[in-house]
A = this chain, B = another copy of it.
Amino acid sequence: MQHTAQQYHHLRSANSNELRQAVRTARYQSHTAGLAPGCLQANIIILPESEALDFMRFCQRNPKPCPLVGVSETGNPVMHTLGEDIDIRTDVPAYNVYRHGNLSESLTDIEALWQPDHVAFALGCSFTFEDALTRAGISVWHIENNKTVPMYRSNILTCAAGAFGGEMVVTLRAIDKHRVDEAIAISRQFPLAHGGPVHLGDPDAIGLHDLSKPEWGDAPPALADKVPVFWACGVTPQHALMRAKLPLSISHKPGHMLVTDIDDQAEVPVYQRN
């Protein structure tokens, strides 16, 4: 059964901790867009320690698709640097489980799968800079129409590390011509949320020949006189994870993010107890 934030009006005003409690106790298991405004939300990747160093190298070399905001201790599911009492086995609304590179199941908790050698990684997401674009009055189609951002597998190659590599997944936001420079400048201020765009203009130049057919998310309307602007996407590490064909790895389910206690404007993503 899928609950949406619309059905749970009281969660619209929940803070990050209350929201995670609702997730942990299975009262909320849906997408997190717009929830706990002002709090950093994160993509999650979980894999064995034997792959963790290469995965961190992959993130370091590809900070736009993979802006690392938190790393657990090995085998400890409590992500203490991201907030108060965050248990990564239960506090994400939904998870995808990959076995040998294939999506095998989606779950709402992973207590049965967590291993003593698991390491959890949290990566920043685009909600942060989208909020900033919205505050600046820059129109973004998928937000205004309550759709999911269109995502495409580009031909831009990531910088590989160990088993991790492959093409960069990008998101499209069509921006009014006269606001493009401003959109770039705003997003560059958020290196922990994908930073500045990776490409502007001609989609063919990055291997995208039909914008009406995104690989994930909703099909966008025609560009009209807007400029197509492409940002690195947090689905890139999931794509890299599948290519790596590990026996077992876990991610959040797209859109179903970990909501942290970190201020989404923070320069340093480390939770300070009051």
Question: A: which residues have CB within 8 A of B?
Answer: 49, 52-53, 56-57, 60-64, 68, 70-71, 73-74, 81, 119, 159, 161, 188, 191, 195-196, 267-268, 270
> Do A270 and B53 touch across chains, with their CB atoms under 8 A apart?
no
Which of B56, B195, B270 has a CB less than 8 Å from the CB of A61? B270
Could you say which of B53, B64, B70 contacts A53, with CB atoms under 8 Å apart?
Answer: B53
The docked-state distance in angstroms from the alpha carbon of A54 to that of B167 is 28
Residues of B within 8 A of A64 (CB): 267-268
Q: Is A60 within 8 A of B68, CB to CB?
A: yes
- A/B interface sample: 6 pairs, CB < 8 A: A57-B71, A60-B71, A81-B159, A191-B191, A195-B268, A196-B267
Knowing that A60-B68, A195-B267 touch, tell me 9 more A-B residue pairs with CB under 8 angstroms.
A53-B53, A53-B119, A56-B56, A56-B71, A60-B71, A61-B81, A61-B270, A62-B268, A188-B267
- List B contacts of A270 (CB < 8 A): 61-62, 159
